[in-house]
Amino acid sequence: MKVAVIGGGPGGLYTAALLKRQSPEHEVTLWERNAPDDTFGFGVVLSDETLGGIESADPAVHRALSEEFVRWDDIDVVHRGRVLTSGGHGFAALGRRRLLEILHERCRALGVTLRFSSEAPPAAELARSHDLVVAADGVHSRTRDAHRDAFRPTLTTHRCRYIWLAADFALDAFRFELAETEHGLMQLHGYPFSPHASTVIVEMREEVWRRAGLDRCDEDTSIEQCGKYFADFLGGRPLRSNHSTWTAFRTVVNEHWSHRNTVLLGDAAHTAHFSIGSGTKLAVEDALALIAHLTDRPTVTEALAAYEAERRPVVASTQRAARASLEWFENLAVHVDQPPRRFAFNLLTRSRRVTHDNLRLRDADFVAAVEREAGIPPATPPMFTPFRLRELTLRNRVVVSPMDMYSAVDGTPDDFHLVHLGARALGGAGLVMTEMVCVSPQGRITPGCTGLYEPEHEDAWRRITDFVHTRAPGTAIGVQLGHSGRKGSTRLMWEGIDQPLPDGNWPLVAASPLPYRPGVNQMPKALTGPELAGIREQFVRSAESAARAGFDLLELHCAHGYLLSGFLSPLTNRRDDAYGGDLEGRLRYPLEVFDAVRAVWPAERPMTVRISATDWAAGGTTADDAVTVARAFADHGADAIDVSTGQVVPDEKPDYGRSYQTPFADRIRHEVGVPVVAVGAISSWDDVNSLILAGRADLCALARPHLYDPNWTLHAAADQGYTGPGAPWPQPYRAGSRKPPTGRTL
C-alpha cells in the first residue's frame, strides 16, 4: 500500500512504524508541520496494558521505551497542607521529547519517509493518490474540519483553564495539590517523567483564572504567578515552560472515524482529559488496533470499519471516565471541605474506574484509614452502615428503587406485588420502595398501575406492609406517590412503552397543552386553578391513606416528566400564570403539593422527593436548576432528595455510563446540605461502597440488580464476608447464608 500519515505525534509515528514493520513493501510517508525537536508538554504516562500491546507489536520500540521509563507506585493528595499517600498504583512515564525521538529512530530504521516542518497536502488530495490516509493531526485536526460533514464531530469546551509546565526535580509520586487563593481554588497535577524532571499542570476554573489576572499574563508572568501559588510545593525551585499557553480542554467526539480511505486516529478522533492520563495511551492503542485490522481484513474499507467497531466502545468508556474526572476537578470547591482522608478517597475514585474494592487491593491501609475517619466500624463495608431520617433508621444504605410492575387491576396491588416487594424486603435492603402509586384513576400511567385512591387499595397495601414489618423486621418500606400527567393513558410497558392505548383512553391533564410525542400521544388539557387544587387534594388523601396503610416513608414523584415534573421543566411548562415562567413560578405548584402532603404525613416519618436533575435536552432543566429545586424542597422540609435525570422529553440525549447520574446527587448533597439518594447504573456493591465512602451519596437506589436477584443485598454481604447487623439473613434462610461451592477444585 501507499500510505500517507498526517501528524507526527506519538500516534502518527507509531502507526507509520507499525505499517512499515508489517510490510516493508508499504510506501509510508509522514508529514509533520513542526520541526522534529518541537514538542508541547513534557511527560507521557503509559499503562502496563498499553506497554504489553507495544511489546507484542514491536519489541524493539518496547525495549527502547523500557530503558527510559521512570516508574512509581504512589499518589500523594495534598489537602490543606496534609499529605495523604495511597500506594500500589503502578505508573510508568518518560519525556514526550524522548518518546518522539525513539519513534523517529524506529521509523527511519524501518524506511518511513519523515517530512518535518512540512504542511501535509489536504487529505482529499492525498486520498486520491494513496491507498490509505491516516489523520493523526491532533485536537485541532484540519482533516476533521475539512470533512466535517463526513466525520460529524462534536467539540465541547470545558470550564477550566490549564497550563502545561515542568519542574527540574523528580517527584516520587503522582501529586495532586490545592491552592486556596483569594481568587479561588487552583489545583496542581504533577508527576515525574525523568530522574531529574516532573510535569506540572496548573488548572483552575475560568472565572478564577480571570480574577487572578492570568488571562492578561504572558508566558513568563504566568510561570512566575504559578510558582507563587504553589511556592511550598516548589520550595524555591523554578517552573519552566515550553511555548506553554493557558488552554481550555476540549472533548472531541466524532460520529464517524473514517471517510472512504481516510481515517482519524488519536486526538483527531477523540480526546480524554489529562487528569486520567490517557491521550497518548489511546493514540498508541488506536495504532495497534488499526494495524491489526489492516493485516487481517482483505480491504481497507473493511479494516477501517473493524478498527472503529473495536475501538469505539473502549474509547467511549475512557471518555466517560475522563468526563467524570474533569467534572470532579471543575467542581472541586464542592469537595474541598470534606475531611482530609475522605477528600483523598473521593479524588482517587472520581473517574469511577478506581473503586473502593480496587483501592483496597492496592492499599488496604489507606482505605482502612479513610473508613476509620468516616466512623465506619471495623470489618464493615460502608454500604452496611445505618442511616437515620427523622425517626426512621435504615440498617444499611441500599434502596430497592421504585419499579413499575404494570400488574395491578383497577389500581389494586395483589399477590404479585406481595411476592415482588416481600421478596426484596427479605433480600436485605434497608429500604424497599413501591412503584409510583397513583393518586387517581386518571393519574395512572397504564391500566396496570397501582393506586391509593380507593379503600380496597389501602387494605391491599396494608397486607404488604404488614408482611414486610412482620417477616422482614428491620426493613423499611416506602411509598412513592405520583400522577402521570401527560404521560398517562398508555399501554403496558411490554405492549409498547409510551404508546397510547388502542381503546379505552382517559383524558390527560398537564401543566401545558403539550403532548409527550406530537402525533402519537394525546393532547393534554392545561390544568386550571380549581383543577390544580383538586389534584393537590388527591395527593393529600392518598398520603393519609398511605400513613394508615403503614408505610414508613413517603416519596413525592417530581421526576421523569410526570405531572409535577411537567411543572418544573421549562420544556413542558409554558404557562403564563403564577405557576409558570421562571423557576420560582414553575416550582410553585410542586411545592404546594409537597406542603399539603407533608402537613398530613406523620411528623416522625420522613418524606423525600424524586427529581430529574437534568432533562438531557437543550433549553431544559440544568444541573444549576436542580440545585435550586432541591434547595427549595429541602427548605420546605424534604428529608432527602432522590436524584434521577431525564425521561421528561422523548428527544433527550442522556450521557449514559457507570453511575452516570451520581454527579448530580453529589453536587446537591454538598451545595444544599441535604441527604441524597443516588440512582442510575449503580450495579455493584463495590459502586455502592465507593459512593458512600466518598461522600457522594447517602443512600443508593438500585433497580435492575434487584430484578436479577431479589437477594442482592444479602449476597453482597456474603461476597464481602460481612455478617453484621447491617444485613441479617431471615431466620428461615440462614442455612443458605454462605455461597454454595460451584464445583470440586484440585
Per-residue pLDDT at 744 exceeds 70? no
Per-residue pLDDT at 647 exceeds 80? yes
Q: Is residue 560 part of a domain?
A: yes
Question: What is each CA distance from 398 to 377, 427, 442, 470, 472, in whole angstroms?
Answer: 18, 11, 32, 20, 15
313 and 401 both lie in a single domain:
no
Per-residue pLDDT at 91 exceeds 80? yes
C-beta separation of 50 from 286 below 8 A? no
653 and 505 both lie in a single domain:
yes
- Each residue of 215-225: pLDDT tens digit? 999 999 999 99
Q: What is the pLDDT of residue 200?
A: 96
326 and 425 both lie in a single domain:
no
Last residue of a domain, one of 332, 351, 382: 332
444 and 326 both lie in a single domain:
no
Across residues 441-449, what is the average pLDDT? 97
How remote is the C-alpha of 107 from its chain's centroid? 39
664 is written with which cell numbers? 448530580
615 and 466 both lie in a single domain:
yes
Q: What is the pLDDT of residue 743?
A: 67
309 and 410 both lie in a single domain:
no
Cross-strand partners of 389:
392
Q: Is residue 352 part of a domain?
A: no
- Each residue of 291-344: pLDDT tens digit? 999 999 999 999 999 999 999 999 999 999 999 999 999 999 999 999 999 999
For residue 240, the domain's CATH number is: 3.50.50.60
Per-residue pLDDT at 202 exceeds 60? yes
Q: Is residue 378 part of a domain?
A: no
Provide the domain limits for residue 401.
Answer: 396-726
Confidence of residue 634 (pLDDT cuts 50, 70, 90): very high
Q: What is the pLDDT of residue 737?
A: 86
How remote is the C-alpha of 316 from its chain's centroid? 12
- Each residue of 277-286: pLDDT tens digit? 778 989 999 9
Per-residue pLDDT at 643 exceeds 60? yes
632 and 508 both lie in a single domain:
yes
For residue 618, the domain's CATH number is: 3.20.20.70
216 and 309 both lie in a single domain:
yes
Q: Is residue 548 part of a domain?
A: yes
Confidence of residue 453 (pLDDT cuts 50, 70, 90): very high
User: Residue 509: in which H helix or E strand, if any?
Assistant: strand 509-510
Q: What is the pLDDT of residue 745?
A: 57
Last residue of a domain, one of 293, 309, 332: 332
Q: What is the pLDDT of residue 243?
A: 86
Supply the DSSP string of 670-716, one letter for each residue. Answer: HHH---EEE-SS--SHHHHHHHHHHTS-SEEEESHHHHH-TTHHHHH
Q: Is residue 224 part of a domain?
A: yes
Q: Is residue 736 part of a domain?
A: no
24 and 102 both lie in a single domain:
yes
607 is written with which cell numbers? 418524606
Q: What is the pLDDT of residue 683?
A: 87
- Each residue of 677-727: pLDDT tens digit? 999 989 899 999 999 999 999 999 999 999 999 999 999 999 999 999 999
Position of cell 500510505?
Answer: 3
- Each residue of 24-62: pLDDT tens digit? 999 999 999 999 887 766 889 887 777 888 888 889 998
Residues in the chain: 746
Active site residues: 562
Q: What is the pLDDT of residue 657?
A: 81
The number of distinct structural domains making up the chain is: 2
CA distance 355 to 358: 5
21 and 138 both lie in a single domain:
yes
Share of the chain above pLDDT 90, in %: 92
C-beta separation of 676 from 695 below 8 A? no
Q: What is the pLDDT of residue 746?
A: 56
Last residue of a domain, one of 279, 314, 332: 332
300 and 444 both lie in a single domain:
no
Q: Is residue 709 part of a domain?
A: yes
Q: Is residue 307 part of a domain?
A: yes
Position of cell 414486610?
Answer: 468
311 and 438 both lie in a single domain:
no
Averaged pLDDT of the chain? 95
DSSP-based three-state secondary structure for 609: strand
C-beta separation of 712 from 702 below 8 A? yes
